[in-house]
Structures are given as C-alpha cells and as structure tokens.
Amino acid sequence: MIKKRGLASYILLSIITSGIYGYWRIHVLARDMNIMCQGDGKKTRGFLAYFFFGILTLGIYNLVWIYMVGDRLHDNAKRYGLSFREAGGTVLLWFTLGAFILVGPLIALHIIFKNTNALADEYNKTTDDVSFQPPAPARIERAQAVRNRDLYTATTKTPVKAIPDPRAETVMVLNSGDTVYLQRTGENPKWFYAKTAEGNEGWCFAGHFKKSGETGSWNSGTEQTGEFCTAMTNTLIKEIPDPHSVTVKRLNTWDAVYLQRMGDNPKWFYAKTAEGLEGWCFTAHFKKG
C-alpha cells in the first residue's frame, strides 16, 4: 500500500529534523513512483543520486529531477483514469521563477505531492484487499417493484450476493451457463435481484449475465479476443470489476493472462490465467504481449 503524504508534514518535519526528513521524503517519493509507474520504461532515482549529482552539477541535476518527476506523474495519470493539468514544465517554473514570490517552490512541491497522492489512491484500490465492513442500513438499496421472471444466463463464474455490494456475504456461486430468473432491478443498474431454479435468491452483478436467447452480456463489452497480456507490477485478479470485491488470485510482475473481453469500464478487462482461473484485471497494470 502506498501511503499518502502532504506538504504540511513535509515542512514541519523538515524544520524539526533540520532538513533530514526532506531527504528521506525524496527517497520515499522515488520509491513509490517506481512502484506505481512500473512498466513505463522510466526510473526515478532516489536520495543518493539527488544529493551527490546535485552537488556535482551545482544544483542543475536537482532541477532536472524535479522536472522529470512532474512529467512522469503527468504521463502516468491516464493509466489510472486520471488527468493532471500540471506537467514537468509547470512544476519546474514554479520551483525556479516562482522563487521570486518566495512560495513558488512550495507550490511546486504541493503539485508533486498532490498528484502522487491521487495516483496512490487509484493504485491502492487495485492492490489491497479491503476487509468487508457491513454497510449501514442506509446503503442497502431499495429495489424497484419490477417482477418479470426473465431468464438470464451467467457468462462467467460469478457470486450471488446478499446485498448489492461486492464486499457483501456471498449467498452462492454460479458457474458459466447457470441460469437465474430476474425478480426485480435495483436503483444501481449494475445489480439485479434474482432467483435460481432451486429457490436461492440474491443480488447478481449485471455485467456477468446475458438474457437467455440473446448474444452479448447484459452490461458487458466485447467478445473474447484471447490476447496475451503481461502484468507490469504486482496486482490482483478480482471477482468483479470493483477493487473491493473478492480476490481470485494474486499476480506478480511478468505473470501473464489471456484477455477474454473488455467491460463497460475501460479501467478493467476480464481475463483467464494459464491455470484456468478467471476474473477482472485492472488495465493500467498490464501491457499487451
């Protein structure tokens, strides 16, 4: 898990430690960026390079380092579905010309910390299991009074949940090809309430079903492609395209999966491992081939 850190703690602890904390923060920032941006072909060097090359180049290396950090954050934002207005040039201008108004370097650091924390939020969602906490009663969705008994077929192995929440208790697990009867829809179109032929009931994730007799899933993307994808960092395969859902398998860097289909949300794709395990993968953590 990548820890979020702000400007206030940087200033305060740097003062208390006579600048030592500031150098430690450079080391941590470089380490976290290399984890979150792994696979982009770049590497952010840490404290030793920043300190010694900064002395040798009379501070020029430090300015280049700051520019490259800002630019790398900007370039990797789209991998996580984000967009940062500030690239390396903006950060560097604040750090140099902004010094004439005194607060410029602090604004530059604020931009770096802010963008790093935004990436950390998205990265942590896809790499950490979140222990399930039963939602408050207000979160349980009121189902609409729609009963039509339409038959739906599971397009993949999928859980049936007690409430429309990926972290909720699993009532049962359906295999690909199993059928359920639609009982009613909820306020969230991603979920519907269904009943099996055996009488079991619960909430189903709409993206894993198609109406019987029709092609394509209810809320799905494309057909299977079988493309080979490689993990660029440690990551998790999830039961449904939600970072809080059950983890099917942990993947290490360079582990491979086969793309089966894309979902409505381009941040996720459905994949299958060589062992036959299937689940949803976070797109930003993979490259084709």
Q: Is the pTM of this model over 0.85?
A: no
Q: What is the dihedral of CA 81, 270, 238, 170, to 10 degrees?
A: 130
Gap between the Cα atoms of 16 and 181, Å rounded: 64
Gap between the Cα atoms of 52 and 55, Å rounded: 5
> What would the pLDDT profile of 52-61 be if each residue is shown by its tens digit?
999 999 999 9
Gap between the Cα atoms of 219 and 122, Å rounded: 23
- Cβ within 8 Å of residue 165, ≥6 positions away: 135, 139
Judge whether 156 and 208 are in contact, CB under 8 Å: yes
Mean pLDDT split into 10-residue runs, the chain, 289 residues: 86 92 92 85 89 93 94 87 88 92 92 92 66 35 46 83 79 85 78 85 83 51 61 85 81 84 81 84 83
DSSP the chain: -PPP--HHHHHHHHHHTTTHHHHHHHHHHHHHHHHHTTTSS-----HHHHHHHHHHTTTHHHHHHHHHHHHHHHHHGGGGT---S--HHHHHHHHHGGGGGSSHHHHHHHHHHHHHHHHHHHHHHHHS-----PPPGGGSPPPPS-----EEEESS-EEEESSSSTTSPEEEEEPTT-EEEEEEE-SSTTEEEEE-TTS-EEEEEGGGEEETTSSS-TTB-------EEEESS-EEEESSSSTTS-EEEEE-TT-EEEEEEEBSSTTEEEEE-TTS-EEEEEGGGEEE-
Q: Does 3.30.300.30 match the CATH number of domain 228-288?
A: no
Q: At what angle do helices 60-76 and 47-56 cross, to 10 degrees?
A: 140
pLDDT, residue 132, reads: 36
Q: For the chain, what are the domain ranges? A: 7-127, 137-211, 228-288
Q: Residue 66 is encoded by which pair of tokens?
A: 């700051």
pLDDT, residue 284, reads: 86
pLDDT, residue 106, reads: 93
Q: Residue 195 is encoded by which pair of tokens?
A: 């009943």
Judge whether 152 and 165 are in contact, CB under 8 Å: no
Judge whether 251 and 274 are in contact, CB under 8 Å: no
User: Topology of domain 137-211, per CATH?
Assistant: SH3 type barrels. (2.30.30)
- What is the phi-psi region of residue 30: left when phi exceeds 0, alpha when psi lies from -120 to 50, beta otherwise? alpha
